[in-house]
Structure 1
Amino acid sequence: MENFEVSQRAKLPTRFGNFLIQSFRELRKENNCECPLDHLVIFTDSLSEVPLVRVHSECLTGDVFGSQKCDCGGELALAMQKISQNAQEGQGGMLIYLRQEGRGIGLFNKVNAYALQDEGYDTVEANEALGFKSDNRDYSIVGDILNYYKIKKIRLLTNNPGKIQAMSQYVEVIRDSIIVPSNCYNQKYLNTKKSKLGHLL
């Protein structure tokens, strides 16, 4: 039995352009309890043999509320713009939106990590002080999603070498950078991503 369910396909007109949307329900079991996660896939009507792909982990504070503590909201918007432009050039692309808030620690713990950052901890130190790894994400569902769409090779929008390595388990990866402007609130965060997590910034 597969560890996911797939929704129907629907149209999604956005300010970036017209897309299709589909949801993948990941059927997880944790502590003898079923904990489904509903991920989203937003994609263009046609996909080339090597589509432009962004694997974006949910960041409610950045994506929805415009938090300037991170670069997530900016990266999401830029990825949508790039995928839409790629579609206009006849290539197409896909955004996989993973419901793994706070690099996999959840929204409640992310807010607690924010509080520690207010006291001077960096993003890695805050996660570790709460008993988590610096990055708690699991990308196995991405392999299922790419296989579902019969994708074998991607141009991956990322600055994260760990994500490149993770995706390379499932498909051939060519990296495309995704750089958004920094600000006075996220400069330390970005420096930490570069120095401690190896991000290509």
Structure 2
Amino acid sequence: MTPAVRTESVPSPADEGDAPCVRVGPSVRMPTSHGMFQLSAFIESRTGVEHLAIHCGDLSVPGVLVRVHSECFTGDIIGSLRCDCGPQLHKALDRIAAEGLGVVIYMRGHEGRGIGLIDKLRAYALQDQGMDTVDANLALGHPVDARRYEAAAAILQHLGARSVRLMSNNPLKLLALREQGLEVVAREPHEAGEHPENAAYLGTKRDRLGHLLGHPVAD
């Protein structure tokens, strides 16, 4: 019989009274092509969604390198050229392995900025008809971005990370983590995988969503 995995609850750092928390799942050694990591599982209490942390080193040191990465089946798994997600994920793992310290929080349930895989494919079909990513989400009745980051902050809290350097081009992600009580001491530009197939997608990120692509670092 397979033994049950013991879990514990971790409150969100923003408000331990009523904010969402995560339950802690198993953690295992994970050798990868990028280097040696620990792979730790977490279950979001509010949704039941299972998230992952890919990490190494003592994450309690100031200014630890962090990437909060939204799940992207098409980019991460099959190498889609419609986005830059896969290259961003692999670049983050390479950077952490080079420093020997850091964590990627892999947020499942964030597919298509939170609309899910099936509606993400519907959005792609609308984009093929001329819409951009923003208008396609809205046409399907979704918010432009439905993602939430309480669970990511709670996972970082459990892992001991309090002061982070965030690998991201999205200023709203930085603000969301700060709102959860994390000290984001720097934004690390994280551009990767630009080519003709995703040029319009990246342009929409920059021009309509405010992503800091091609911009200097600014806190």
Structures share fold, TM-score greater than 0.5: yes
1:135 is the counterpart of 2:145:
yes
Q: Which residue number corresponds to residue 171 of structure 1? A: 182
SS at match of 1:40: strand
| Corresponding residue to 1:66 among 79, 82, 86 | 79
Alignment partner of 1:96 out of 101, 105, 113: 105
Q: What aligned pairs does 1:18-167 form with structure 2 within 5 A after superposition?
A: 18-28=36-46, 35-47=47-59, 48-87=61-100, 92-99=101-108, 100-167=110-177
The answer for unaligned runs of 5 or more in structure 1 is: 29-34
Q: Which one has more relative contact order, counting CA pairs under 8 Å at least 6 apart?
A: 2
Alpha-carbon deviations, 1:37-72, whole Å to 9, x = none? 000000003333321000000000000000000000
CA contact (8 A) 2:166 2:187 kept: yes
Indicate whether 1:193 and 2:169 are aligned: no
| Secondary structure at the counterpart of residue 190 of structure 1 | helix
Deviation at 1:8, TM superposition (A): 2.2
Name 1:32's counterpart in structure 2: none
Deviations 1:141-185 (A, max 9, x none): 012112112321100000001111111122111110111141111
d(CA) in 2 for partners of 1:79 and 1:172? Answer: 20
| Regions of 4+ moved over 4 Å | none
Unaligned runs of 5+ in 2: 1-8, 12-20, 214-219
Q: How many residues align?
A: 191
Match of 2:217 in 1: none
What TM-score comes out, normalization by structure 2 length? 0.84
Cα deviation, residue 196, structure 1? 0.3
Could you tell me the TM-score, scaled by structure 1's length?
Answer: 0.91
| Helix, strand or coil at the partner of 1:168 | helix
Identical amino acids, percent of aligned pairs: 44
Q: Which residue type is aligned with residue 196 of structure 2? A: C
Distance 2:28 2:137 in 1: 37
Q: Distance in 1 between matches of 2:84 and 2:155?
A: 25
